[in-house]
């Protein structure tokens, strides 16, 4: 869902980003490569109709995520691994909740717009400036975008009588894009993406995926998602789909000294990076 993406990117990259625009909201993340972005912690509540047995998890951030576009051009799926710094319960004496749990007036949207792989285009070039003319056609079958980061958990004995995490220390971060391609002149052979992988010296590639929905956030503005990343290929594998041979290229994002390691823009209708019972 286009409205789910801000939760993933704010939970992983942080940055305290806010959307711009009217009814159609534009979100953008350009996580810093040489400094540390502010963390955007989340609170998560879960339970059932017995409100005296609800849990409240605090200071949540995403340790890793995967977004996958399936073969067949269907709906993208996402998985997230969260780390929370505190836990409380409506049924606990020593760890009581903060505020009212469950939080009143939270609702889950019933009109969210799914992201389809059929609406995607992939562009690969030798520079950011070349991306506009770098579309690779009749080749991309599937993709998986992965992000993971090391988290240093700060726990200090400060006579606070709590097990909660005092702070997070962000560590190494990895972003990779795995793409399954048909064998075309763009993907195999001299001058192709596979040729870049086989090179004795790492070859810088710039990759862009764009998604434009047939549904509109408002007026003539469609739901959309775009991400760019400077990348280098690390692995190539052989595959097969429908009796046809394929290749699987995995690229790792890197900081090229000018362009940030990842740059993503989402257009949706979400005013805050939260969904249902997740809140920042």
Tens digit of each residue's pLDDT (9 = 90 or more) over 94-151:
889 999 999 887 767 777 899 999 999 999 999 999 999 999 999 999 999 999 998 8
The count of structural domains within the chain is 1
| CA dist list (Å): 229 to 28, 114, 165, 170, 219 | 14, 23, 32, 21, 30
What residues make up the domain containing 104? Answer: 5-279
Rounded to two decimals, the pTM is 0.89
- Residues of the chain with pLDDT > 70, as a percent, come to 96
Q: Residue 104 in contact with residue 45, Cβ under 8 Å? A: no
Summarize the confidence of residues 31-39 as an average pLDDT. 84
What whole-number distance in Å separates Cα of residue 56 and Cα of residue 44?
6
| Phi/psi at 13 (5° precision) | -90, -30
List, in sequence order, every residue forming a beta bridge with 194; answer none if it has no partner.
Answer: none
Summarize the confidence of residues 240-248 as an average pLDDT. 94
**pLDDT per position as a tens digit, 79-90:** 999 999 899 999
| Phi/psi at 128 (5° precision) | -60, -40
Q: Residue 227 in contact with residue 145, Cβ under 8 Å? A: yes
User: What is the predicted pLDDT for the residue at 142?
Assistant: 97
């Amino acid at each position: 869902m286009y409205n789910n993406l801000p939760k993933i990117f704010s939970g992983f990259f942080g940055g305290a980003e806010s959307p711009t625009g009217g009814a159609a909201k534009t979100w953008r993340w350009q996580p810093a490569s040489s400094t540390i972005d502010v963390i955007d912690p989340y609170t998560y509540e879960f339970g059932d109709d017995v409100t005296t047995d609800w849990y409240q998890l605090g200071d949540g951030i995403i340790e890793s995520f995967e977004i996958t576009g399936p073969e067949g051009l269907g709906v993208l799926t996402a998985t997230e691994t969260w780390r929370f710094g505190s836990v409380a319960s409506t049924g606990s004496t020593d760890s009581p909740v903060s505020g009212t749990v469950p939080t009143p007036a939270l609702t889950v949207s019933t009109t969210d717009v799914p992201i389809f792989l059929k609406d995607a285009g992939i562009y690969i070039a030798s520079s950011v400036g070349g991306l506009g003319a770098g579309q690779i056609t009749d080749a991309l079958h599937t993709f998986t975008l992965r992000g993971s980061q090391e988290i240093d958990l700060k726990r200090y004995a400060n006579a606070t009588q709590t097990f909660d995490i005092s702070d997070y220390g962000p560590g190494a971060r990895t972003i990779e894009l795995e793409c399954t391609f048909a064998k075309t002149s763009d993907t195999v052979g001299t001058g192709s993406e596979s040729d870049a992988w086989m090179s004795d010296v790492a070859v810088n590639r710039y990759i862009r995926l764009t998604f434009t929905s047939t549904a509109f956030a408002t007026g003539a503005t469609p739901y959309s998602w775009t991400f760019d990343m400077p990348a280098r290929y690390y692995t190539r594998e052989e595959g097969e789909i429908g009796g046809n041979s394929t290749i699987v290229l995995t690229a790792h994002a890197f900081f090229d000294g000018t362009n940030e390691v990842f740059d993503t823009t989402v257009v949706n209708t979400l005013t805050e990076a939260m969904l249902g019972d997740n809140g920042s």
